[in-house]
Amino acid sequence: MKGQFFLLTVFILIAAFYIGISPRISPPIAVDQIPESLDFIFDNVLNEYPRAVNLAMNTSKNTVNVLKNFSNFVKNSTDEMGLNFSIIWLFVKNESENVNITVGNFLGYDTNVTLNVSGNVKHIYVQSGVANSTLFVSPPSKFQLVLSFNTTEKNLLLEKHKVSFYGLMKMEKEGNSINGEIKA
């Protein structure tokens, strides 16, 4: 009986020693130690958009709604980190012999967008946080798409029977800014 009591006492003392000393050996991870560099977060978001597009196409009947929700999620998450995030994206999808182009505007302001599909030009007004669509009738199987808004113009070569996603993304923090393109 004395031996069991002795072993129990030794076990309790050892446990108390390790519990008391363990914070000194391995301190808990502080929130400041999590990498929050602008480059790290930018690259993460840049890599997640194509995954969000694929997930939306595979799991939802309303891909555009999922992309809007994802863009709002990224915007809210980056706001909490003190980052300024903006993106304008295009979701291009075949509908029979036509092409539907949806523009998602998450720039933080309303904008006029000009879309030129192989010479067929359409102008659409897209409010901030909204996505608007337009239909191009019977474009060629490979077509040139020119996206123009504000002072930005981008040329894309796309295929009619292939779903495409393109985005222009910007992230800023404390005077530092990163711009990038997303193609999926």
Residue 20 pLDDT: 61
Residue 24 pLDDT: 52
pLDDT in tens, 108-145: 999 999 999 999 999 999 999 999 999 999 999 999 99
Instruction: Decide yes or no: CATH 3.30.1360.20 for domain 36-183.
Output: no
Residue extents of the structural domains in the chain? 36-183
Q: Could you list the pLDDT tens digit for every one of the 184 residues in the chain?
A: 555 555 556 556 565 555 665 455 545 544 444 445 899 999 999 999 999 999 999 998 899 999 999 999 999 999 999 999 999 999 999 999 999 999 999 999 999 999 999 999 999 999 999 999 999 999 999 999 999 999 999 999 999 999 999 999 999 998 899 999 999 8
Residue 127 pLDDT: 97
> How open is the CA angle 175-70-77, to the nearest 5 degrees?
40
Unique residue bearing structure tokens 């997930």: 55
Please report, for residues 14, 79, 172, 178, the alpha-carbon distance to residue 37 in angstroms, rounded to integers and kept in the order given.
Answer: 41, 14, 11, 12
Residue 21 pLDDT: 53
Residue 61 pLDDT: 86
